[in-house]
Amino acid sequence: MAARVYLSALVAMGGVGLWVLAGVTLATLLTGGLTPLLTTAYGQFWIGKVLIVAVLLLSATANKWRLVPAFESGAATAPRRLQRWRWCWSRLSS
């Protein structure tokens, strides 16, 4: 069972990588090249959206690989980790 979960996580990470590559390619084609992607308002807005999604993906990764295993193993530091995580996100969202 654990091998299946690990394999599905690898497939999902590969899928996200392909999604990002397709998005960069499409945005480059829509703006007419890499330079307009970096200098136009549309390109800068798009880059901002990509950075926001990257932060969300990193937080999901931290949750998957750090918080969940700590709770599953019954680590004494798990509630404190979750509390710090919630504090960070509350500061970012306000």
> pLDDT by residue (tens digit) across 71-91?
777 877 777 877 777 787 777
Q: 37-46 long-range contacts, Cβ below 8 Å, gap at least 24? A: none
Residues of the chain short of pLDDT 50, as ranges, are none
Extents of the domains making up the chain? 2-93
State pTM to two decimals.
0.62
Contacts of 85 (CB under 8 A, 6+ apart): 62, 63, 67
Q: How far is the C-alpha of 87 from the C-alpha of 60, rounded, in Å?
A: 16
